């Protein structure tokens, strides 16, 4: 059965460009992003891994470790990584998993047979410090991901993990957030000393509480 939000992210051991890893041990107490690619030496994937490398500091600031998955062998990964560094002007320092036996692809349901019988789609999983799946996004092979959106959803997940708030459409770090329905307006006023703006009884905004 495929993974769902809230499920424990399956653990695995894998060979990667940064050595052998145990996934859960590698994540430690931080957040993780596991994302798959159709194949090495493909153009869209090359730009995606380059963009991820260029955003490494942003991921580190959020205590997120990033891992890429492709079903190609490790030697091919090493050769491809050189090309990524050269063409995308970056230095890929995160692990690229060599998932030759498709163990990770199977555990995370990354092969969608009606899209391709063999290649992984562009799956992306955000995993919380409790090792549960917090977010899943799936793109087809032909569409590269927006990694600024990935950072934005991590910001939302980290904020909403700590406060009784949700983030509205197109929210960005620093903007007002929504008080969750489970909190009464009376309690919200006590919880959020920066103020609560009531638009409707069910639609209440407050300034981002950790800013
Ligand atoms: C790519 O990563 O460039 C790609 C892979 C498979 C199909 C189309 C594009």
Instruction: Provide, rounded to the nearest whole percent, the portion of the chain with pLDDT above 70.
Output: 100
Residue tagged active-site, from 9, 21, 33, 45: 45
Sheet holding 165-166: strands in order across?
Answer: 165-166, 177-179, 203-206, 197-200
Q: What is the pLDDT of residues 148-197, one digit of tens each?
A: 999 999 999 999 999 999 999 999 999 999 999 999 999 999 999 999 99
Q: Do 175 and 113 have their domain in common?
A: no
Mean pLDDT score across all residues of the chain? 97
SS3 205: strand
Considering only CA atoms, which residue is closest to atom 8 of ligand 1?
142
CATH number, domain of 47, equals 3.40.30.10
What's the pLDDT score for residue 1? 64
Q: Would the CB of 142 count as within 6 Å of ligand 1?
A: yes
CB burial of 142-165 (b: ≥16 within 10 Å; e: otherwise) equals eeebebeebbbbbbbbbbbeebbb
Q: What is the total count of domains within the chain?
A: 2
Instruction: Provide, rounded to the nearest whole percent, the portion of the chain with pLDDT above 90.
Output: 98
Distance CA 149, CA 49 (A): 15
Does 158 map to a domain?
A: no
What's the pLDDT score for residue 2? 86
Q: Would the CB of 43 count as within 6 Å of ligand 1?
A: yes
Per-residue pLDDT, averaged over 17-33, amounts to 98
CATH number, domain of 199, equals 3.30.1020.10
Does 151 map to a domain?
A: no
Best of 35, 38, 48 for a ligand 1 pocket test (most atoms within 8 Å of beta carbon): 38
Please indicate whether residue 45 is annotated as part of the active site. yes
Per-residue pLDDT, averaged over 31-46, amounts to 97
Q: What are phi and psi of 198, to 5 degrees?
A: -100, 110
Does 5 map to a domain?
A: no
Q: Write down the pTM of the prediction.
A: 0.96
Q: Do 83 and 172 have their domain in common?
A: no
Does 4 map to a domain?
A: no
Q: Do 136 and 61 have their domain in common?
A: yes
pLDDT at 208 over 90: yes
Range of the structural domain that residue 195 is part of: 163-206
Q: Do 38 and 124 have their domain in common?
A: yes
Does 195 map to a domain?
A: yes
Confidence of residue 31 (pLDDT cuts 50, 70, 90): very high
Best of 71, 80, 141 for a ligand 1 pocket test (most atoms within 8 Å of beta carbon): 141
Whole-angstrom CA distances from 204 to 18, 43, 72, 196 are 46, 44, 49, 6
Structure tokens at 114: 């009606």
């Amino acid at each position: 059965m495929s993974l769902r939000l809230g499920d424990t992210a399956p653990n695995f051991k894998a060979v990667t460009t940064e050595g052998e890893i145990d996934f859960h041990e590698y994540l430690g107490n931080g957040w993780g992003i596991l994302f798959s690619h159709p194949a090495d030496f493909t153009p869209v994937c090359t730009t995606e891994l380059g963009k991820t490398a260029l955003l490494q500091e942003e991921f580190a600031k959020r205590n997120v470790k990033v891992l890429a998955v492709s079903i190609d062998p490790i030697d091919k990964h090493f050769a491809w990584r050189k090309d990524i560094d050269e063409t995308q002007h970056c230095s890929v320092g995160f692990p690229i998993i060599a998932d030759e036996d498709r163990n990770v692809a199977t555990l995370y349901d990354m092969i969608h047979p009606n899209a391709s019988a063999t290649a992984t789609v562009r799956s992306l999983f955000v995993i919380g410090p409790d090792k549960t799946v917090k977010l899943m996004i799936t793109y087809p092979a032909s569409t590269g991901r927006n990694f600024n959106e990935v950072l934005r959803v991590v910001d939302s997940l980290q904020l909403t993990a700590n406060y009784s708030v949700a983030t509205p459409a197109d929210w960005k770090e620093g903007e007002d957030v929504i008080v969750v329905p489970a909190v009464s307006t009376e309690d919200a006023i006590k919880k959020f000393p920066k103020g609560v703006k009531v638009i409707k009884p069910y639609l209440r905004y407050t300034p981002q509480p950790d800013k």
